Amino acid sequence: MKRISLMLAALAVAGLVRADIPPITGENTVGFATVVAPGEANTIITVPFEACLGGGASGMLSDLVAVNGLTAHASDPALADQLVVLVEDSGSLYYYYYWLKEGDGWTAITTEKLMPDGSSQSVNPPDADSFAIARGLGFWIKRSAASANPVYLKGQVATAKQSTTIREGLNLIGYGTVTAYSLNDSGIDWSGAYGGTGNTSTSDKIIVVNADGSFTEYFYFVKPIGWPAAYDAINNKWIKSDYTAATGNLPAGRGFWYQRRGTGSFSFKPDGE
Amino acid sequence: MKHTLPIFSLLLAGGMACAAGLSQLTLSISTPGPDTYSDGQPVQVGETYLLVYVASGSTFQGVRTDGALVDPVNNRIATTATAVTGAKCGFKAIQYPAELYPAGGSWVIVLLDTRDASGAVGGLVAAQGVGESVASASGDSTKLNAVGAGQHGTTLAATTLSPAPADTPAPVIASVKAQGSAVDILVENVTGRALYEVQSTTDLVSGDWRPAVGGTRLRATAADLPVAVQVPAGDRVRFFRVIVPGSN
């Protein structure tokens, strides 16, 4: 009986000691987000993650967009799923095409840039495994065949705050969050968005491409001086064309067009400074 | 008053909003295949496809045998692509300044038949086929546009004969020499930018002219065009003429 009591006492002490040892926490947190991207259609996506798994380096296209469940082909890019990324380089826009080649993963496609004088240049995108994708950049996935498989975006959970430059004109961007969100969520900072003169034709606009290929437009509204108090409720919010606040959630990983109508560019910092 | 002001402002500002678009647009071309020639044969690897921009209010007028557009003012070749295994247009993507090919026009993909007398591709344009028209995008376009790819279940067929260049002279047979089943014909007044066909018949009254064996898709490489055709052995009488297909 005395021996049993001693053993219990020893176990209790051991338990106390163990409780005092802090766990060793891994250096990174990783995850994935699924995006619904209908077959035989184009969907704008954005990667809510920031880095390659383990390495911690900037997230490369080939790592951030998983290939499982997607359609690959051995030789014909037209029969494979594709990624199309719109990038700006030295003031010029470029479209980088990639196709899912069997056994090789995302593979760059040389495209032809037509010039105003009738000449053309070859555009050779960087390899997908060396093409850094900033969190918040939007790009297309073209699904070649009917498929119910979602697209898996994966990577390391961001620790830095998003900062995405929005220039005059159309910008293909997204909010790099890992949860669904509404444009008017109080936690999203839209500082820099232009409210125009109170009407929807002069204010900044967001264009969301729906699953059926149709578009939904939202407009940034800033109540002009002298307008009735009835507009206070939608002041500094995204609204629909009928001047009601935008509602509904955008899923994580869904990108959109941002049409900048204000003068100059600004940095979209949804998480604040 | 509540909604009057926004609507009024919208009308005032309507013209300003157009400028805020994309300076560059993209477009990809491909066909599902199998595409064919007029004789039903599948398109050969390496065959040529054209992506043609058609100006607003116009239609595609075709390609001449030398590859020139019939209506170079309202039709413009943006790029070319080639056939790949499967008798289809291989995937190709382009980008271009938005103002280069304005909205309001349209795009067509054109399959050419460039097989020469030996059957190899790369010769003059004997025939062509045109795919369905796709509206050209504006700088405000937010779509990822493609031509040809949406034609699932349909194929292109190069069945329309190509017209010869407008200044093509009427050919003249300068000599004919028959020896057994072989007949040597010398054609003059020819150009290297047109295709010629030697036809024959045994009955001038019936007018039943048919292409002579060895007499199709002929291209002059010199000032005259020597042609060797085959005729049935034992012919008692046979007549020959030369035409420029697509123009006669």
- In which order are the strands placed within the sheet that holds B172-179? B172-179, B182-188, B225-230
pLDDT at site B149: 72
Judged by DSSP in three states, A23 sits in coil
CA distance B147 to B51: 8
Q: Which helix (H) or strand (E) holds A139?
A: strand A138-142
Contacts of A92 in chain B (CB under 8 A): 24
Q: Residue A51: what pLDDT? A: 76
In DSSP terms, which residues pair with A181 in a beta bridge? A250
Burial class (CB in 10 A: 0-12, 13-18, 19+), B219: middle
User: Can you give the pTM of this predicted structure?
Assistant: 0.87
Taking residue A84's Cβ as centre, other Cβ atoms within 10 Å add up to: 23
Nearest to A42 among B7, B94, B144 (CB): B144
Q: Residue A53: what pLDDT?
A: 67
The predicted model gives B11-37 an average pLDDT of 72
* Beta partners for residue B140, in sequence order: none
Q: A79-106 pLDDT, tens per residue?
A: 999 999 999 888 889 999 999 999 999 9
Q: Which is more confident, A41 or B243?
A: B243
Question: In this predicted structure, what is the pLDDT of residue B208?
Answer: 93
Over the stretch B92-118, which tens digit does the pLDDT of each residue have?
Answer: 999 999 999 999 999 999 999 999 999
Q: Of B53, B31, B52, B47, which Cα lies nearest the Cα of B112?
A: B47
DSSP letters along chain B, please? -TTHHHHHHHHHHTTTGGGSS-SEEEEEE---S--EETTSPBPPTT-EEEEEEE-TT-----B-TTS-BS-TTTEEEEEEEEEETTTEEPPEEEEEETTTS-TT-EEEEEEEE---TTS-SSS---EEEE---EEPPPTT--S-EEESTT-TT---EE-EEPPPPTTPPPPEEEEEEEETTEEEEEEES--TTSEEEEEEES-TTTT--EEPBT-SSEE-SSSSEEEEEE--TT-S--EEEEE-TTT-
Put simply, the answer to whether B24 touches A93 (Cβ < 8 Å) is: yes
User: What whole-number distance in Å separates Cα of residue B211 and Cα of residue B242?
Assistant: 9
Q: What is the mean pLDDT of residues B119-132?
A: 96
Distance (Å, rounded) from C-alpha A210 to C-alpha A227? 33
| CATH number of this structure's domain B172-243, picked from the four choices 3.40.50, 3.30.1180, 1.10.540, 2.60.40 | 2.60.40
pLDDT of residue B14: 30
A interface with B, Cβ–Cβ < 8 A, is 42, 75-78, 84, 92-95, 97, 99, 109, 111-116, 120, 123, 140, 142, 168-170, 196-202, 207, 209, 215, 227-228, 230, 243, 257, 259-261
Domains of chain B, residue spans: 20-161, 172-243
Distance CA B244, CA A27 (A): 77
Poorest-confidence range of A106-115, B144-153, B205-214? B144-153
- Which residue type occupies A256? F
DSSP SS3 for A108: strand
- With 80 as the cut, is the pLDDT of residue B16 above it? no
Which of A92, A107, A170, A173 should be substituted to probe chain B, the one whose Cβ sees the most B Cβ atoms within 10 Å? A170
Contact check, Cβ <8 Å, A75/B85:
yes
Average pLDDT for runs of 10 along chain A of length 273: 58 60 86 89 91 73 93 96 93 94 97 96 96 92 88 89 92 93 94 93 93 89 95 96 93 94 94 85
Contact yes or no for A47/A153 (Cβ under 8 A)? yes
Contact A97 B17 (CB under 8 A): no
User: Does the structure show a pLDDT above 60 at B1?
Assistant: no
CA distance B124 to B198: 17
| pLDDT band, residue B248 (cuts 50/70/90) | very low
Please report the DSSP string for A235-264 in residue order: TTEEE-TTS-B--SPBPTTBEEEEEE-SSS
Over range B166-170, report the average pLDDT: 93
Q: Which among A111, A197, A243 is the nearest to B94, CB-wise? A: A111
Q: Indicate whether B2 pLDDT > 60.
A: no
Residue A186 DSSP SS3: coil
Question: With left for phi above 0 and alpha for psi between -120 and 50, is residue B45 left, alpha or beta?
Answer: beta
Residue percentage of chain B with pLDDT more than 90:
80
Considering CB atoms only, which of B7, B78, B142 is closest to A257? B142
pLDDT at residue B9 in the model: 33
Q: Compute the nearest-CA separation of B62 from chain A (Å).
A: 20
C-alpha dist (Å) from residue A73 to A60, A102, A114, B147, B193: 22, 5, 28, 20, 40
Q: Distance between CA atoms of B243 and B187, rounded to whole angstroms? A: 11
The nearest CA of chain B is from the CA of A58 a distance in Å of 27
Helix (H, G, I), strand (E, B) or coil at A95: strand
**CA separation for the pair B146, A82 (Å, rounded):** 13
Domain boundaries, chain A: 29-160, 162-273
- Alpha carbon B148 to chain centroid, angstroms: 15
What are the tokens at A205? Answer: 């606009």
Q: CB under 8 Å to B162, separation ≥6 — which residues? A: B62, B63, B64, B65, B124, B125, B126, B127, B128, B195, B246
* Each residue's pLDDT tens digit, A131-174: 999 899 999 999 998 888 899 999 888 888 899 999 999 999 99
Q: Are A119 and A112 within 8 A, CB to CB? A: no
**pLDDT recorded at residue B67:** 96
pLDDT recorded at residue A213: 78
- A31: helix, coil or strand? strand
Q: What is the DSSP letter of A232?
A: G
Q: What are phi and psi of A120, to 5 degrees?
A: -145, 160
What is the Cα Rg of chain A in Å? Answer: 24
Nearest CA in chain B to A264: B20
Strands B88-89 and B127-130: unpaired
The mean per-residue pLDDT over the stretch B40-55 comes to 98
